[in-house]
Copies of this chain bind each other. A is one copy, B any other.
Amino acid sequence: MEDKYAGLKLGNQLCFPLYACSREIVKKYKPYLDELDLTYTQYITMMVLWERGQINVKELGECLYLDSGTLTPLLKKLETKGWVTRQRAKEDERVLIVTLTDKGRELRDKAAVVPEKMSCCVKLSPDEVKTLYTLLYKMLGDI
């Protein structure tokens, strides 16, 4: 006979390992990011800026799936550290443009070693990583 509560088991829900994995991996980043004086969220924000140099808050939020409630205070911290500047767009004063500074660009060299060091932590084969990666992005796209 069926267990009407089967779906309620932790081990039967996709969301739980996703949630747990995410936090465990972010935790693995910590020692490396501490050396750069970055939190994980600040790190992925800087990754976007290292790629694009400049971006407004709305677009940044779309890249990272984060809203201004999270980003505004975070960006102010990055500004305090001197890695980005924040200024309103002249064409549209509603828009805030975040720009990477030279000092922020320098940080990229120190950060370049982080992905290598992290790759050792994940014990999946390259094929498994690729599969996982593809499924996660498929999921993200549908959500």
Which residues of A are at the interface with B, using a C-beta cutoff of 8 A?
A: 4-5, 7-10, 12-26, 28-29, 40, 44, 47-48, 50-51, 63-65, 108, 111-112, 114-116, 118-119, 121-124, 128-129, 131-133, 135-140, 142-143
| B residues near A19, Cβ cutoff 8 Å | 22, 25-26, 40, 44
In the bound complex, do residue A15 and residue B25 qualify as a contact, i.e. CB atoms below 8 Å apart? yes
Which among B17, B47, B51 is the interface contact of A136 at CB below 8 angstroms?
Answer: B17
Contact sample, A vs B, 5 pairs, CB 8 Å cutoff = A8-B47, A10-B51, A19-B22, A23-B65, A24-B140
In the bound complex, do residue A15 and residue B8 qualify as a contact, i.e. CB atoms below 8 Å apart? no
Which among B18, B111, B118, B138 is the interface contact of A25 at CB below 8 angstroms?
Answer: B18
